[in-house]
Structure 1
Amino acid sequence: MSGFKWIGATIGWALGGPIGAIIGLALGSAGDAFSSGKLGSFLNEGESTGRRTRYGTGGYNQQQRPQTHSGDFEVSLLILASVVIKADGVTDPKELEYVRSQFVSMYGKERANKAFRLFKEINKQTINTRQVSLQIQRMMDHPSRLQLLHFLFNIAKSDGMVVDEEERQIASIAGYLNINSRDYNSIKAMFYNSSDNAYKILEITKAASNDEVKRAYRKMVKKYHPDKVEHLGEEHKKGAETKFKEVQKAYEYIQKERGM
């Protein structure tokens, strides 16, 4: 059995189109080369919402957005993490180690080692960010895309700060993923220190009334609640809890600041 057979068992929509081409090349480079026939079969192993999903080569017939599975999210993460890490022209060992440590915490050591091996091969490729991101946008649900964005900022911040080139690349990805400016700025504010960050996280301004603050908090709790990504599996639900805690911290900060 291929060392990366676990991918085919969990991925539905991701292994088609530009993402499928990237993963296929990475698998071959990693030593898991397939004949063209076997690779085609491999790319169709995943299921999504009870049916096979194909697009990218001959288009796709999509009546509704398929549910994102753990493998879909994982492959999307591997590719976009590579884009962000290379944004400033330097592959920082701290960022690579962060990716590896996150994989270990999410997937366990054995699966993480395989994922990181694949990631290193992906990292050697020139990736068309627009094509990959648009494929993800078409097929991935909104809560999962928000979680993906949060992880990309985590990677950028892993060496101590998010540099301008990284932020611009993440902003570009967010645009392709159809993440609006309010959602983007809310997640971005979790990784910067400024006097109004707590308000940005709740998607309000300092001029908001106390009642508006409370309403904004309730809205953000619903948006970022970890249960929104429970379909990705416990490994990614835990990652969503970090984002959720930032919302709680922001609200507590504003409460203390205002004496609410």
Structure 2
Amino acid sequence: MGWMGKLVGGTIGFALGGPLGAIFGAAFGHAFDSGTELELSREGQRLSRVEQNQLTFFVAAFSMLAKLARADGRVTPEEIDSIEDFMEKDLRLNTDSRHAAVNIFRTALNAPGTFDDFARQFYEEFHGQPQMIEVMIEVLLRVAVSDGRLSAEEEELIMVAVNTFHFSSVRYSQLKSKYVKTADKAYAVLGCSPDADNDQVKRCYRQRVQEYHPDKIAAKGLPDEFTRFAQDKFREIQEAWEEVKAERGIK
């Protein structure tokens, strides 16, 4: 990840604008200027567009997860364990990336910026990239239910993201059903109803495959760790399709 190498090497001399920039600056000791989007690095070079996307996604994800963890008023050891488990098992963060994520998470926990602030800035950056938006919604859901339940406070915040991102309420319900119940999970993964006919199911499967093909996701500029998360999603789509095919006798 280009920006991570520059961060570890101490050569980043820029700040993101907005509330995410405040988190980044506080977490890593870089100057923050709310009026700037990106400042020049000390080497006189700007981040590439891909690196900017990666940095924004990474900071937004762990800032929003911090506010999600505080949704019920306190952060429990179980919630911290779930975040660390997500870093290790789902994202498979390396040591440097994990330290960066922990810094962002801890900084955002008590920062004045709100979940709404972070969600709005994320949407400004990625409003034209629906896969990035869906990955973020699914990240929030997966971590929220990692303790075995989705609390009303947690879902209220996730719905803030859904509304801010102009994300389909139907698609949100499908994603939610992957985590809060087991019935019809395969159909939720494919993004269709169990009542759909075979042709509709096939169309949904083909659309999901096209959206989450690893080559297409790689071109979106996701951080490497989140790209692996999306690749797991692609495998999940394939497995769901095989399950539905077997259930319906589709050849």
Q: TM-score, normalised by structure 1?
A: 0.76
The within-5 A match list for 1:179-190 is: 179-190=167-178
Distance 2:143 2:235 in 1: 18
The within-5 A match list for 1:1-260 is: 5-6=7-8, 15-27=16-28, 32=29, 38-40=31-33, 44=39, 45=41, 47-49=47-49, 69-104=53-88, 105-140=91-126, 141-230=129-218, 231-260=221-250
Distance 1:194 1:119, change over 3 A: closer
Distance 1:205 1:232, change over 3 A: closer
The one-letter code of the counterpart of 2:208 is M
Write out per-residue CA displacement over residues 191-230 of structure 1, whole angstroms, 9 at most, x where no aligned residue. 1224333323323222211111111111111123333331
Write out per-residue CA displacement over residues 1-46 of structure 1, whole angstroms, 9 at most, x where no aligned residue. xxx934987899x81012212333444xxxx3x5xxx444995245
Write out per-residue CA displacement over residues 169-206 of structure 1, whole angstroms, 9 at most, x where no aligned residue. 11221211222223323322221224333323323222
Q: Report the Cα offset of residue 245 of structure 1.
A: 2.8
Distance 1:216 1:114 in 2: 37
Distance 1:82 1:194, change over 3 A: same
5+ residue gaps, structure 1: 50-65
Distance 2:101 2:169 in 1: 31
**SS of residue matched to 2:181:** coil
Distance 2:165 2:240 in 1: 25
Q: Identity over aligned residues, as a percent?
A: 28
- Counting matched residue pairs gives 233
Distance 2:8 2:38 in 1: 12
The one-letter code of the counterpart of 1:100 is E
Write out per-residue CA displacement over residues 86-129 of structure 1, whole angstroms, 9 at most, x where no aligned residue. 12223122322232344345431233123303321211224322
Query: Does the 8 Å contact 1:98/1:155 carry over to 2?
Result: yes
Q: Report the Cα offset of residue 138 of structure 1.
A: 1.4
Query: Does the 8 Å contact 2:59/2:104 carry over to 1?
Result: no
Distance 2:16 2:82 in 1: 25
With 120-129 and 132-141 compared, the bigger mean Cα shift is at: 120-129
Distance 1:11 1:89, change over 3 A: farther
Q: Report the Cα offset of residue 77 of structure 1.
A: 0.7
Cross-structure match for 2:3: none
Distance 1:234 1:130, change over 3 A: closer
